[in-house]
A and B are shown apart, each in its own frame.
Chain A
Amino acid sequence: MAASPVFLNLDLLALSPPGWGGVLLTGFAASLQLAVGGFGLGLLIGIGGAFGKLYGGPILRDLLEVYTTVIRAVPELVLILLLYYAGTDAVNSLLMLAGLPRVDISGLAAGIFVIGVVQGAYSTEVLRGAIKAIPPGQIEAARAYGMSPFKTLRRITLPAMLPYAIPGLSNLWLIATKDTALLAVVGFSELTLVTRQAAGATKAYMLFYCAAGVLYLTLTLVSNRVIGHIERRARRGIAGPM
């Protein structure tokens, strides 16, 4: 059978059409978009959730607790299926109730939403821990200076919690990049799905899966370098048993 020479046939990875390299890179770009968008949305949800859990009313706190517990207990794959179908359905039903026309939610938007909701639960916990780690005196001092709550958030709370939050958040970023692969299951053309399509079309399974693995691994390694850099910057001026 012809498959073992095919493994060495690197022409299949060429960037322009007879090769599948371009398709793979497009898929990789889609994965990156998903990861960045999902992580960003997750961060926003996380900030809201962390503040809600720490300073919100009792009902809000309980609801957030339910949110983080449920999301962390159910497999991402199941959540993705549920949110991917139910999420868009719910938006459209709400719009219909309000008498508005249906909107078309693109796969990318739905994907970002799904990853964001999952990430939000984890980053809520990370950020809550980080905010709790800020010496309360710093926030009290800001208040004593007459800073408004929003200014306190922007100038004191967020920067001060950063060093505590970075290890957890960087972990989350790495999880986000890998969770994007799960959207292959709902037919979103990200790296893992296009890899499978390319592998299926050419029968060069090993070659394409290895190539995709290299892309993911590169992303992880580059992220690690960047995270290390950010971490060093954020820790400036902090004495500690590092």
Chain B
Amino acid sequence: MSDTKVTMPAYVPPPPRRLLEPHRIFLIALFGAIVFCAVWFLRWDWLEKYQWKLIHGIWETLFLLFSTAAAGFVLAVLLGLVQVTGPRPLAMLARGFCTLIRGTPLLLQLWLLYYGLGSVFAQYPEIRQSMFWPYLRQAWPYGFTALMLSFAAYEGEVMRGAFAGVPRGELEAARAFGMGRFTMFRRIWLPRAFYRALPTLSGETVLQLKSTPLVATITVVDVYAIISRVRQDTYLTYEPLLLLALIYMCLTGILVLLFRFLENRIPSRGA
């Protein structure tokens, strides 16, 4: 969500509340009762059979999340930088790329890459005989690419603003100290832009986590795919999906806490 830069007049907040008020205790009890009913009345006997697969699936999801976010972030820095300082045609190209990726559904991009590009690759014997084929015939390179590009495009837009928003004076000061262009970039511009972008990084990573299950539609076996297997094997609808929602909620929670910890570690006064 992009928030406006308008100076916001004060809203008068209600008096601060404590965590445990009488109604909360009631709500928690109610929630506990619902959870108890879910555990008691629904079928969970499949859990034992699939638990190792599930753990493996969670690992796969997390691996996909962090690898695509890291690679995507590097690409995003380039995209942001090119849009701010690059030569005009290159800047336009980067801009066009961001618009293209942000303007179409990720699912479509994923299928375009896997089924579209994959079928084109398969037509050329040169590619089929090349050393890359063992990788190109698998599904995860396509999932990785689609997720990485998507992360890069969304975060690239943020990085553009972050680079542009670093106060001129700081860069001028760096130059006055006699820093070269690259040193200035490395020591001042990039870190400052990074701190400015850090708050959005948390949100973008959560969004990225929520995009990962899409790769299950191209046969990558992540936690979502495992749950689909359970659904198809047992014909249960709710139990596996509820567990899946719970797993993602936990993952999101952990991510948010992790980023909060990181943000507190980095002093970013007034960024």
Q: Which residues of A contact B (CB under 8 A)?
A: 1, 3-4, 58-59, 62-63, 70, 72-79, 81-82, 85-86, 89, 122, 125-126, 129, 131-136, 163-164, 167-168, 171-172, 174, 178-182, 184-185, 192, 195-196, 199, 203, 205-206, 209-210, 212-213, 216-217, 219-221, 238, 240-241
Contacts and interface: CB of A to CB of B under 8 A. Distances in A.
A136 B1 contact: no
B106 A82 contact: no
A210 B113 CA distance: 11
Nearest to A132: B11
A81 B238 CA distance: 9
Nearest to B119: A205
Contact of B115 (A70, A78, A205): A205
Interface residues of B, number: 55
B209 A206 contact: no
Contacts of A136: 9-12
A1 B123 contact: yes
A4 B116 CA distance: 11
A220 B103 contact: yes
Nearest to A63: B27
Contacts of B115: 196, 199, 205, 209
B13 to A, nearest CB: 9
B123 A241 contact: no
A181 B105 contact: yes
Interface in B234-270: 237-238, 241-242, 244-245, 248-249, 252-253
B53 to A, nearest CB: 17
A159 to B, nearest CB: 16
25 contacts: A3-B123, A58-B17, A59-B26, A59-B27, A73-B249, A73-B252, A75-B211, A75-B212, A77-B213, A125-B1, A131-B11, A132-B8, A136-B9, A168-B2, A171-B1, A181-B108, A192-B105, A192-B111, A199-B116, A206-B112, A206-B116, A206-B120, A209-B111, A216-B105, A219-B103
Contacts of A86: 237-238, 241
B242 to A, nearest CB: 7
B116 A78 contact: no
Contacts of A72: 206, 252
Contacts of B5: 241
A216 B238 CA distance: 32
Contacts of B24: 58, 62
A134 B7 contact: no
A181 B105 CA distance: 7
Contacts of A216: 103-105, 108
Contacts, number: 163
A73 B253 contact: yes
B210 interface: yes
Contacts of A199: 115-116
B105 A185 contact: no
B47 interface: no
A1 B128 CA distance: 14
Given A3-B120, A122-B1, A78 B213 contact: yes
B136 to A, nearest CB: 15
Contact of B107 (A73, A132, A182): A182
A78 B108 contact: no
Contact of A75 (B1, B117, B210): B210
B213 A221 contact: no
B7 A241 contact: yes
5 A-B pairs with the lowest CB-CB distances in the bound complex, closest first: A181-B105, A220-B103, A132-B11, A209-B112, A73-B252
B48 interface: no
Given A73-B248, A184-B107, A240-B6, A4 B120 contact: yes
Contacts of A133: 4, 6, 8-9, 11
A89 B120 CA distance: 43
Nearest to A182: B107
B14 to A, nearest CB: 9
Interface in B20-53: 21, 23-24, 26-27
B103 A221 contact: yes
Contacts of A219: 103
Given A167-B2, A216-B108, 9 more contacts: A74-B248, A74-B249, A76-B210, A78-B244, A126-B1, A174-B103, A196-B115, A220-B102, A241-B7
Most buried by A among B4, B115, B119, B241: B4
